Copies of this chain bind each other. A is one copy, B any other.
Amino acid sequence: MNGKEIRRSMPLFPIGTVMQLTELTARQIRYYEEHQLISPARTDGNRRLFSLNDIDRLLEIKDLIDQGVNMAGIKQLFLVKEQHANEQEQEMKKVKRELTDEGLRKLLRNELLHSGRLNSPSLRQGDLSRFFH
């Protein structure tokens, strides 16, 4: 299903809530946006509205910063991750197209091995699984 991605990208949270959820200051969050690590939506009145994906990202950012990575580094990491995710996506589609017995077994094995690797923070720690089931 892909309504899931829609849900996870739906702009819902004001910055105050995000501050609490991530334990980042407003300043930090705005700074990361300034450096294009996140792109939260805006309300009509120009207030930021964050999605679950945004929050996941912020938690990843926090983690990386703790590990000494700087803005540029994080940006690069996100880039390659996204690329990788896209490749995977393509691979999935391809495999699904040639849905022979053989292909099916391959697909299933892959999904079991790296289950949910798309869009889920592959860098351990701090995702939102604790908030939403």
Give A contacts to B, CB under 8 Å: 3-4, 7-8, 10, 12-14, 16-17, 21, 43, 49, 52, 130-133
The reply to whether B130 and A132 contact each other, CB–CB distance below 8 Å, is no
Q: Which of B3, B13, B130, B131 contacts A13 (CB 8 A)?
A: B13
Q: Which B residues touch A133, using CB under 8 A? A: 4, 7-8, 132-133
CB A132 to nearest CB in B, in angstroms, measures 5
B10 close to A12 (CB less than 8 A): no
Contact call B7/A17, Cβ cutoff below 8 A: no
A130 neighbours in B (Cβ, 8 Å) = 3, 7
- Give the interface centre of A8, A16, A132 by most chain B CB atoms within 10 Å: A132
Cα A14 to Cα B12 in complex, Å, equals 9
- Cα distance A119–B16 in the bound complex, in angstroms: 28
